Structure 1
Amino acid sequence: MLSRTADHLYWMARYTERAENTARMLDINYQTSLLPQSSEAAEQGWRGLLSISELTRDYHAKHAGLAQREIMGFMVRDESNPSSIHSCLRAARENARAVRGTLTTEVWETANTTWLEFKRLLARGSFERDPSEFFEWVKFRSHLSRGVTYGTMLQDESFHFLRLGTFLERADNTARLLDVKFHGARPIPPGSSGDYFGTLQHTEPLEIDFYYWSAILRSVSAFEIYRKVYRNVIQPEKVAELLILRRDMPRSLLACMEEVVSNLGYVANEHSGETQRRAGRLRADLRFGRIDEILATGLHAFLTQFLDRVGDLGVGISRDFLVPV
């Protein structure tokens, strides 16, 4: 396969996944903003959202304060923000158009229709009228894109580059979400199993903690899964275990790395040995890791290192398969 074709397929998938992840984070922040809480806690939630995407500096270059409406607009419709839903869906569609002959008709039409309908929804004011419904639409279109890809494309190199982009982006986003949200959590009393979490003191009642951790689980479609797996109250260390080490949790770090390693194996060439080795080692660290060991050494340090290693994998994939940056 031509490296330029692989590049377009890889980034088409990454941008589609990024749009969905942005919608998920915005929806959870919007939902939790409706709960009783102090203005400081609400502001911290929106600050964390910008931090996840590394957009704090870009946002403050255009806006003075941390207003909910301005942040949501910046993350949804701002064309100058490369991580906004607008920019991601447009980039996904343009990458799909560049390799239209490689995609099935259904995959191309899904990407094209998503972009056109997104513009129509913005023009009609659907985002302002009901943000949650709008975010659900974005998530649904991403699910549809993956389903159509899986259901209609020949599982050749094109298919594997699409999958590779999807799961590398998902791993990166899940790690960012965990890092920021666990840092924003209420510290758990010393001596408890959750003494590793949080850096901020909150003044909200303890009942709010349930909604906080529930929101984190719902942001990655894991609330029902948590109840099925653990069958008890929501505990921060169990949330971390589910989203890091559970192979059967679709958006966990381990599940994502299983897919990355698998799809790398399908497209391997004579230059990709080192990238495959690094991906395999990262998967092994997750596969044989234990949550108590991760927490004992520091969750933030673990996730920071994971993000660095995922970033190195992205560089290696670009070097081995794609158009040089």
Structure 2
Amino acid sequence: MLSRTADHLFWMSRYTERAENTARMLDINYQSSLLAQTDAAAQSGLQGLLSISELLHPYSAKYGEINAQSVMEFMVKDETNPSSIFSCLRAARENARAVRGSLTTEVWETQNQTWIELNRMLKAGAFEEDPAQFFDWVKFRSHLSRGVQLGTMLQDEAFYFSRIGTFLERADNTARLVDVKFHAVERDFYGASTGRDQEYDFYHWSAILRTVSGFEVYRKVYRDVIKPERVAELLILRSDMPRSLSACLNEVVSNLTVVSSNPKSETLRRAGRLRADLEFARIDEILATGLHAFLTQFLDRVNELGAHVSREFLGAPAA
């Protein structure tokens, strides 16, 4: 396969996944805004939303003061924001168009229809009318894109590079989400809580779980009240949780192994070592040494892994 073709497929999937992840975070923030909360809590939530995507400075430079309407505008429709839902779905469609011949008709039509429908909805004011329904639509279109790829594409290199892009992006997003949300809670994981703290904790941790479709999974796995250390374990180390760091690295390694002609390549070595570190880690050890430090190092390693994938297979620097 031409490296240029692999590059377009890789980024088509990354941008589609990024759009879904952005919609998930915005949806939870919107749902939380409907609950009774202080102005400080609402402001903190909006700031955390921008921090997750490292967009606090670009936002401040353009909009100044942080408020819900401007943040939503910036993260959904702003064409100058490369991580907005609009920009991500546009980039996904353009990458798909560039390799139209490598895609099945169903995959191309899904990407193209998503872009056409997005423009129609934004012009009709569908986002302003019902943000929750709009975010559900974005998530659905991402699910549909992955499902159509799995159901119609030949499982060759084109398919594998698409999967690598999806799960590298998902690992990056989950790590950012866990880091920012855990860092925002200034309390000891194992300390005593007042009744008010317990009520806050429930909504805080359940919101994190719902962001990654993990609320029902948590209940099924732990059958207990929501505890932060178990939320961390579920989202970092549980390989049977689809959006956990461990599950994402399992997918990255398995797909890299198929496309790599050199079993001792540096890219595969880095991916395998990162997966092994997650596979044999324990959550109590991670929390004891510092969750923020662990996730910061993980994000650095994932970014380095993406750069190695680009250099070794795609013939282009990471975007």
TM-score, normalised to structure 2's length? 0.96
Q: Which residue of 2 aligns with 1:61?
A: 61
Q: Could you say which residue in structure 2 is the equivalent of 1:153?
A: 153
Cα separation, partners in 2 of 1:150 and 1:190, compared to 1, 3 Å: closer
Could you say which residue in structure 1 is the equivalent of 2:117? 117
Counterparts of 1:181-196 in structure 2, within 5 Å, are 181-188=181-188, 191=191
Q: Aligned to 2:281, which of 285, 289, 301? A: 289
Say if 2:24 and 2:211, in contact at 8 Å, map to a contact too. yes
What is the RMSD computed on CA atoms of the aligned residues? 1.7
> Where do 1:8-157 residues align within 5 Å?
8-157=8-157
Deviation at 1:34, TM superposition (A): 1.6
**Aligned equivalents of 2:127 and 2:188: distance in 1?**
37
Give 1:190 shift. 6.0
1: CA distance, partners of 2:23 / 2:86: 11
Q: Is the 8 A contact 1:38 1:203 kept in 2?
A: no
- In structure 1, what residue type is equivalent to 2:306? G
Which residue matches 2:293? 301
SS at match of 1:136: helix
Looking at structure 1, the residues matched to 161 and 57 of structure 2 have their Cα atoms a distance apart, in angstroms, of 32
How far has the Cα of 1:105 moved from its partner? 0.2
- State the 1:191 CA deviation: 4.4
SS at match of 1:101: helix
- Secondary structure of the equivalent of 1:65? coil
CA distance, structure 1, for counterparts of residue 100 and residue 243 of structure 2: 28
Deviations 1:110-137 (A, max 9, x none): 0000000001110111100111110000
Separation of aligned partners in 2, 1:224 and 1:40: 29
Structure 1 partner of 2:163: 163
| Inter-CA distance 121–292: structure 2 relative to 1 (3 Å threshold) | same
Q: Which amino acid aligns with 2:233?
A: E
Using the TM superposition, give the Cα deviation of residue 257 of structure 1 relative to its aligned residue in structure 2, in angstroms: 0.1
CA distance in 2, matches of 1:129, 1:203: 37
Distance 2:197 2:245 in 1: 31
Partners of 1:224 and 1:148 lie apart in 2 by 25
1:253 CA drift (Å): 0.2
Match of 1:199 in 2: none
Q: Deviations over 1:226-273 (max 9, x none)?
A: 000000100000000000000100000000000000000011034970
Counterpart contact for 1:15–1:88, Cα < 8 Å: yes
Alpha-carbon separation, structure 2, partners of 1:126 and 1:185: 34
Q: In the alignment, residue 12 of structure 1 is paired with which amino acid?
A: M
Q: Which runs of 5+ in 2 are unaligned?
A: none
Q: 2:239 aligned with 1:234, yes or no?
A: no
In structure 2, the residue matched to 1:198 is: none
Distance 2:283 2:95 in 1: 39
Give CA-to-partner distance per residue, 1:128-150, whole Å, 9 cap, x none.
01111100000000000000000
The residue type equivalent to 2:150 in the other structure is Y
**Are residues 1:248 and 2:248 paired?**
no
CA apart distance, 1:186: 4.4
Tell me, yes or no, if the aligned pair for 2:157 and 2:259 is still in contact at 8 Å. Answer: yes
Alignment match, 1:275: 267
Is contact 1:213–1:236 with CA below 8 Å preserved after alignment?
Answer: yes
Does the C-alpha gap of structure 1 residues 124 and 203 become closer, same or farther in structure 2, counting only changes over 3 Å? farther
Aligned mates of 2:204, 2:190 — CA distance in 1: 20
SS in structure 1 at match of 2:37: coil
Q: Counterparts of 1:271 and 1:9 in 2: how far apart (Å)?
A: 23
Mapped partners of 2:119, 2:261: distance in 1: 40
Q: 2:167·2:249 contact (CA, 8 Å) conserved in 1? A: yes
Aligned equivalent of 2:310, options 297, 303, 318: 318
Deviation at 1:209, TM superposition (A): 1.7
CA contact (8 A) 2:189 2:228 kept: no
- Percent identity over paired residues: 70
In structure 2, distance between residues paired with 1:170 and 1:190:
29
Count residues with an aligned counterpart.
Answer: 317
Q: Which amino acid aligns with 2:265?
A: G
CA distance in structure 2 between the partners assigned to 1:177 and 1:29 by the alignment:
12
